[in-house]
Chains A and B, each alone.
Chain A
């Protein structure tokens, strides 16, 4: 009888703890969406942010966020992939590789504001890149690399050893085995890792405040010359992102509708991040099915 009662109590406690977690998460998400969604409109998405009056939008911030994400991914993906391939396929277990792994672990828990200040000193000041998209993208690359690398390393390690042996036994060189067999098999995991890290990049503010800057310059979306200062493609212009925008309207902003703007921007951010996550799952599953083909035609 006693064991039964203890079991009952333990079960109840666990249910309650789970309920608390779910409630908190649902409360936060619900609150953000509830307060933000009513203010999300086409006008909000397509008009410029205003400096003084109410009624501004986040067109440039939204574009900047996406542009920064794309640039960061382009820079960090190949580096992380190379590092992950090295760690999982070539590195032997010695003090050097365990040093690399420890460094990656430490870097992945580095506070983003520290990454931001480091980026400010190195890229903005030392390299003279100024407050610019490229400074921001480089800082975000530093921020993103550790997690992306370890995600990809896990994905590659997940490919059974027997697949590698089969490749080698077929007369493939080490590199051909990796490129032709291991990477395709690890692709779903690699993509999932990439998209999940994209969500993190998209919502990052602290690392960008001192690197990509807090001001939006005048941007012309019909100017396709990336070297022109007003072009939307110019990587040397300062660029405020959605997350930085939220921080700014709440600290230094003087617009009268700051609460509305930040609520709507928060909702927009959350929605985009949710879309990334759903996309990651969908794409990962699709690719997994296609590659391992539980149900291929």
Chain B
């Protein structure tokens, strides 16, 4: 199995406080990896290292290596804009821009320099279909994206991330701000898409991780405790503490 992203001994500290104590983890192509763990364990922080969203935090220090397709993303030669085109991101709160649905999806494409109107139209439709939101938006493409429901907004954001054809999409608790119905819609969308894209998802919802992920990584207090195939880990975790967490004894 090909690894798209390889993290080697990633340590991160804010000033003198170390939040991640050396995490090594491989992410396989066209799989969905779930990062689970109690609140404050560093899973979101780790996720945001993968597209360098932590760069702007003051006094931050990141060591170790993160390779995206063999390239060190923290090397000075790395172009941030290029990296984020390859590694997209969807956040906990839906973040549609205050434009129409169409412009939301087309925005990244236009920035990427695509001018051909037909190609943009085609990509917009394709991305909305992929994110399973085409049916609800096709007659309302000119409507402001912020006027849709939370679940719809989140799928519009997924479509927006997919439109620029990334290799990897990072999902930071994509369903935790949504109601159960919207949440299951987003889950189904991810199930359909995970054969075409590599997803890395932070989630608090263990059932969700069990349902849709191929690989699961369990983090605690800034350490990677255990990682492996989801079925194996959920049925027979190697460590007692993983088993305790999965069984709801803490967290």
Main secondary structure of the interface of A (DSSP, over half): helix
Interface string of A160-185 (1 = CB under 8 A from B): 10110111111111001000110011
Q: Is the CB of A169 within 8 A of B97?
A: no
Q: Is the CB of A166 within 8 A of B147?
A: no
A167 contact set on B, CB distance < 8 A: 97
The interface stretch among B123-131, B138-146, B229-237 is B138-146
For B58, give the chain A residue with the smallest CB separation.
Answer: A92
B143 contact set on A, CB distance < 8 A: 293, 296-297
Q: Is the CB of A176 within 8 A of B146?
A: no
Tell me, rounded to whole Å, the shortest Cβ–Cβ distance linking B216 to chain A: 24
Q: Once bound together, how far apart are the Cα atoms of A190 and B157, in whole Å?
A: 27
Q: Which of B88, B99, B147 contacts A169 (CB 8 A)?
A: B88
Contacts between the two chains (Cβ within 8 Å), count: 75
Q: Is the CB of B107 within 8 A of A184?
A: no
Q: Is the CB of B93 within 8 A of A170?
A: no
Chain B residues 89 to 142 lying within 8 A of chain A, measured CB to CB, are 89, 91, 93, 95, 97-100, 107-108, 111-112, 142
Q: Assuming A166-B157, A171-B82, A171-B84, is B98 touching A292 (CB within 8 A)?
A: yes
Q: Assuming A165-B53, A297-B142, is B98 touching A170 (CB within 8 A)?
A: no
Q: Is the CB of B81 within 8 A of A171?
A: yes
B175 contact set on A, CB distance < 8 A: none
Q: Once bound together, how far apart are the Cα atoms of A110 and B183, in whole Å?
A: 54
For A163, give the chain B residue with the smallest CB separation.
Answer: B95
Cβ-based interface call for B85 (8 A): yes
Main secondary structure of the interface of B (DSSP, over half): mixed
Interface string of A238-253 (1 = CB under 8 A from B): 0000000000000000
A297 contact set on B, CB distance < 8 A: 142-143
B97 contact set on A, CB distance < 8 A: 163, 166-167, 181, 184-185
A185 contact set on B, CB distance < 8 A: 97-98
Q: Assuming A171-B84, A171-B85, A293-B146, is B91 touching A162 (CB within 8 A)?
A: yes
B155 contact set on A, CB distance < 8 A: none
Cβ-based interface call for B20 (8 A): no
Q: Once bound together, how far apart are the Cα atoms of A291 and B103, in whole Å?
A: 12
Q: Which of B84, B157, B164 contacts A168 (CB 8 A)?
A: B84
Q: Once bound together, how far apart are the Cα atoms of A162 and B94, in whole Å?
A: 9
Tell me, rounded to whole Å, the shortest Cβ–Cβ distance linking A291 to chain B: 4
Cβ-based interface call for A21 (8 A): no
Q: Once bound together, how far apart are the Cα atoms of A168 and B164, in whole Å?
A: 14
Tell me, rounded to whole Å, the shortest Cβ–Cβ distance linking A163 to chain B: 6
Tell me, rounded to whole Å, the shortest Cβ–Cβ distance linking A176 to chain B: 6
Cβ-based interface call for A294 (8 A): yes
Q: Is the CB of B99 within 8 A of A184?
A: yes
For A181, give the chain B residue with the smallest CB separation.
Answer: B97
A163 contact set on B, CB distance < 8 A: 95, 97
Most buried by A among B58, B88, B107: B107
Most buried by B among A170, A180, A297: A170
Q: Is the CB of A296 within 8 A of B95?
A: no
Tell me, rounded to whole Å, the shortest Cβ–Cβ distance linking B187 to chain A: 21
Q: Once bound together, how far apart are the Cα atoms of A265 and B232, in whole Å?
A: 84
Tell me, rounded to whole Å, the shortest Cβ–Cβ distance linking B161 to chain A: 7
Q: Is the CB of B98 within 8 A of A166?
A: no
Give A residues with C-beta under 8 Å from B: 92, 160, 162-163, 165-173, 176, 180-181, 184-185, 290-297
A-B contact pairs, 14 of them (CB 8 A): A162-B93, A163-B95, A166-B157, A169-B51, A170-B108, A171-B85, A172-B111, A173-B81, A180-B107, A185-B98, A292-B144, A293-B146, A295-B147, A296-B143
Given contacts A160-B95, A293-B144, could you give 15 more A-B pairs where the C-beta distance is less than 8 Å?
Answer: A163-B97, A166-B97, A168-B84, A169-B161, A170-B108, A171-B81, A171-B83, A171-B85, A180-B111, A184-B99, A185-B98, A293-B98, A296-B100, A296-B147, A297-B142
Q: Which 8 A-B pairs have the closest CB atoms?
A: A293-B144, A166-B95, A169-B89, A171-B84, A171-B85, A291-B98, A296-B144, A293-B147
